[in-house]
Structure 1
Amino acid sequence: MLTYTPVSEAGGVGKTTTAATLAVSHAQAGHNVLAIDMDTQNGSLTYFFGPEYNRGDPQIDNLVRHLVGRPKGDFHDLTHEVEDGVDLIPSHNMLEDIHEFLLNEKNQAENLGESYSMYHQLHRVLQEANVRDHYDVIIVDSAGKAGPILYNALVAVRNVVIPFEATAKGQESIEGLDDLVDGLEESIGVDVGVLAVVPIGYKDTRDQREILGELRESGFSVPVIIGERGSLMEGCWKQQCSPYTYVEDHRNRKREYEIDTLEQFDELARHLEREAGLKIPEVTA
């Protein structure tokens, strides 16, 4: 099984777009994919794929209710089938108060003499739902900042994919994330691996080449390099679809560089599947 979360401390580097595009690529390859939206921002997987869902309705069942042990239904009923058969668990506004909810649960448990980990609740929910019996790939689109949302995602999936800008600031964000993961591993006792670092918006300048060289020397895997694709990604957000659907259904002519970008994401998806030991299909869509 392949499980990961795209993570970046820097904003605007394509974290959610990377999650959505890889989810569709895995699905097109024949894998059963579950995408979980734990991003509290409006520009999230829920907006990207656009299921008919009211994330502000406090009465409907949602992931937060399951995280705090107060579900209104079965976990699998939370999913919405979106593009290419990807199952999506949408974000909900209750996520904004998740720290308070989890802290209340922790205090209640400790008052009863029970142990409770605020950061193992997504892991617990996925285990209880036997997701391994239903899915080959799980992708969690999480918050970029340190906190209970990101920590729950990291504990549950144990792997990260890091989209970043090949700049000094982007390099600094990777180093900051590395420190965050080290601290989490030490305090909670989980191992988190970096499956890939993905440069996005790459322009092949001398400074960028030096940054990539330093990353590779540090042992990071950089399987693909994505160039500047602003118009493609903006079009995807406008049409609320993956780059695959956007190029196929919303471009009046094919652009070679966009086809190349899709092939790069497919290459990245196959790399991640190999890292997890998933069988690589002979033919992909």
Structure 2
Amino acid sequence: MLTYAPVSEAGGVGKTTTAATLAASHARAGHEVLVIDMDTQNGSLTYFFGPDYDRGDPNVDNLVRHLVGRPKGEFHDLAIEVEEGIDLIPSHNMLEDLHEFLLNEKNQAENFGESYSMYHQLHRVLSEANVRDKYDVVIVDSAGKAGPILYNALVAVRNVVIPFEATAKGQESIEGLDDLVDGLEESIDIDVGVLAVLPIGYKDTRDQKEILADLRGSGFSVPVVIGERGSLMEGCWKQQCSPYRYVEEHRSRKRDYETETLNQFDELARHLEREAGLEIPEVTA
């Protein structure tokens, strides 16, 4: 089973579009994919894929209720099929108060002399739901900043893919995330692996070449480098679909650079699948 979270401390680097595109690539290769939206922002995977869902409805069953042990139904009933082979657990506004909810649960458990880990609740929910029996790939898209949402995501998936802007600011975000991962490993005793770093918006300038060389020299895996593809990704957000569907259904003519981009995401997806020991299909859709 392949589990990971696209994570970056820097905003606007394409974390959510990376999650959606890789999910689509895994699914088109024949894998069953679960994507979990733990981003509190409105511009999240739930908006990207556009299912008919009210994230502000306080009465609907949602992931937070399961994380704090107060579900209204089965976990698998939360899933919405958004594209063939892709199930989405949508985000909900209750995520904004997750820290408070988990802290209350921790205090209550301690009052009864019980242990309670605020950061292992997503892992618990996924284990109890036996997601391994249904899905080959689980991707969690979470808030980029440190806190219980990100920590729950990392404890559950144990691996990260880092979308990276090849700038000095982007380089700082890589170093900051490396420190964050090290701190998390030390504080809650887990190993978090960096499966790949994904440079996005690369324009092959001299400064970017130096940054990319430093990145590769530091030991990170950089399987592919994505160029500037703003129009493609903006179109996906507008039409609320993956780049694959966007090119197939909303482009009147084939654009070679977009085909190249999708091929690169396929290459990255196959790399991640190999890392997890998933069978690589001979033919990719």
- What TM-score bracket applies, with the shorter chain setting the length? over 0.9
Q: What letter matches 2:211 in structure 1?
A: I
Distance 2:222 2:84 in 1: 27
Q: What letter matches 1:147 in structure 2?
A: G
Matches within 5 A, 1:89-238: 89-238=89-238
Distance 2:198 2:230 in 1: 16
Q: What letter matches 1:268 in structure 2?
A: L
Equivalent residue number for residue 50 of structure 1? 50
Shift of 1:215: 1.0
Q: So what's the TM-score if we normalise by structure 2?
A: 0.99
Equivalent residue number for residue 257 of structure 2? 257
Which consecutive residues of structure 1, in runs of 5 or more, have no partner in the other structure?
Answer: none
Query: SS of the counterpart of 1:202?
Result: coil
Q: Deviations over 1:28-66 (max 9, x none)?
A: 000010000000001100000000001000101000000
Equivalent residue number for residue 29 of structure 1? 29
Shift of 1:77: 0.2
* 1:275 counterpart = 2:275: yes
Contact 2:30 2:85 in 1 (8 A): no
Shift of 1:92: 0.3
Distance 2:233 2:103 in 1: 38
Q: Deviations over 1:190-211 (max 9, x none)?
A: 0000000000000001111111
Distance 1:110 1:5 in 2: 30
Which consecutive residues of structure 2, in runs of 5 or more, have no partner in the other structure?
Answer: none
Q: What letter matches 2:38 in structure 1?
A: M
Query: Percent sequence identity over matched residues?
Result: 88
Matches within 5 A, 1:229-248: 229-248=229-248
Q: What letter matches 1:119 in structure 2?
A: Y
Q: Deviations over 1:199-251 (max 9, x none)?
A: 00000011111111111111100000000000000000000011101111111
Q: So what's the TM-score if we normalise by structure 1?
A: 0.99
Q: What letter matches 1:48 in structure 2?
A: F
Shift of 1:24: 0.6
* 1:84 counterpart = 2:84: yes
Shift of 1:85: 2.4
Distance 1:10 1:239 in 2: 25
Q: Deviations over 1:120-150 (max 9, x none)?
A: 0000000000011111000000000000000
Query: SS of the counterpart of 1:196?
Result: strand
Q: What letter matches 1:89 in structure 2?
A: I
Distance 1:8 1:15 in 2: 7
Equivalent residue number for residue 75 of structure 1? 75
Aligned length: 285
